[in-house]
Amino acid sequence: MTQASYNIDIRQPRTLVWLAVFLIAVIGTGALIGTQTAPGAWYAGLEKPPFNPPNWVFGPVWFILYVMIAIAGWRTFIAAPASVAMALWAGQMVLNWVWSPAFFAAENLWLAMIIIVPMLAAILAFIVNVWPRDRVSAVLFVPYAAWVSFATVLNLSLLVLNT
């Protein structure tokens, strides 16, 4: 794949339709999962580390991250739909979407930990994979990697404090 393969012409209606599809799919699925697995009494009763953010922080952070994730996925799909980068993007997305049900709905800190570690690895692998060809998508994933790194530490802390 050449550098030119990541030149995206946003004047093409087909390209903009795909952007809309990615934004709707990522944000919509994330919002649906978030509303169905909102923190409840179980989460409120957990012993939390001192760096645990207030619940209201998660919604705005995830909205912003989902926009960035969608744009990176769209750029990758337009440039290389059958690539390793696209497979990494899709894999991390699936893991992202199953983490909340594992954590909040199943109330299983161990299962959530088992999901979040490979999710973080897939995020980091995506960044490394696309960096030489598409710095925009790589940079869009950096805040996501930082947040999921923090979430991994938080998940582990909750596991240690509550088992």
What are the sequence ranges of the domains in the chain? Answer: 6-161
What architecture is the 6-161 domain classified under in CATH? Up-down Bundle (1.20)
Q: How many CB atoms lie within 10 A of CB 146?
A: 12
Q: What are phi and psi of 136, to 5 degrees?
A: -60, -50
Q: What Cα–Cα distance (Å) separates residue 47 from each residue in 38, 155, 163?
A: 18, 12, 10
- The stretches of 46-134 forming alpha helices (DSSP H) are 58-79, 84-100, 109-130
Q: What is the pLDDT of residue 6?
A: 65
What tens digit of pLDDT does each residue of 72-86 get? 999 999 999 999 999
Q: Is the CB of residue 10 less than 8 Å from the CB of residue 88?
A: no
What tens digit of pLDDT does each residue of 4-40 get? 446 677 778 889 999 999 999 999 999 999 999 989 9
Distance of CA 60 to the CA centre of its chain: 14
Q: Is the CB of residue 36 less than 8 Å from the CB of residue 105?
A: yes
Q: How many CB atoms lie within 10 A of CB 10?
A: 9
Average the pLDDT over 44-61 and give the result. 95
CA triple 59-110-47, angle to 5 deg: 65
